[in-house]
Amino acid sequence: MLADEASQILRDAERLCTADAVTQAVRRVAAAITTVLAPANPLVLTVMSGAVVFTGQLLPLLNFPLDLDYVHLTRYGDATVGGRIEWKMFPETKIAGRVLLVVDDILDEGHTLAEIKRRVLEAGASEFYSAVFVDKDIGVSKPIAADFVGLTLPNRYVFGFGMDVKGAWRNLPAVYALKQD
């Protein structure tokens, strides 16, 4: 996407969540995760690329030992509508017998997170937990619910704080929604 187009998208967007609210949500999630997983020495899997920002701010707030790796799969690519799940990378770290915490940017329809859960349990994970920065309220049941949620937002296309719009604006400290027509 060209810079002019990206700038216009941001100008037209509605800010749903300030940077301060984002920071508070991350702190709440970190506290909840610490309460549950501190004794577990979990393997934390960040979902590329969207969860990088959330994970990067979350990990320093987790004051317990953990291991870190990543998964890379997508349903969106550069589109704004989800499609078929495409696996790009499964973790190289041994999963069998481990407590896993999967960190993702958004729980939209739930297909991606459900697929990750299926694959890691199939690989022998002893327990599965998930943390998402945003749980989108889509008005229907999802195949999976996150254990830890930063924010619940309306059913709109959101971006910022790791979430992109056509590849742009992952770097924003606040969360925005595309302009509604």
pLDDT digits (tens, 9 = 90+) for 57-79: 999 999 999 999 999 987 655 55
The parent domain of residue 31 ranges over: 3-177
Provide the mean pLDDT of the chain.
92
Q: Kindly report the CATH number assigned to the domain that includes residue 160.
A: 3.40.50.2020
CA distance 76 to 61: 30
Q: What is the pTM of this model?
A: 0.91
Question: What's the domain count of the chain?
Answer: 1
CA distances from 119 to 71, 96, 102, 116, 124 (A): 11, 11, 12, 5, 9
Per-residue pLDDT tens over the stretch 81-108: 556 778 788 888 999 999 999 999 999 9
Q: For tokens 């296309």, what's the residue?
A: 157
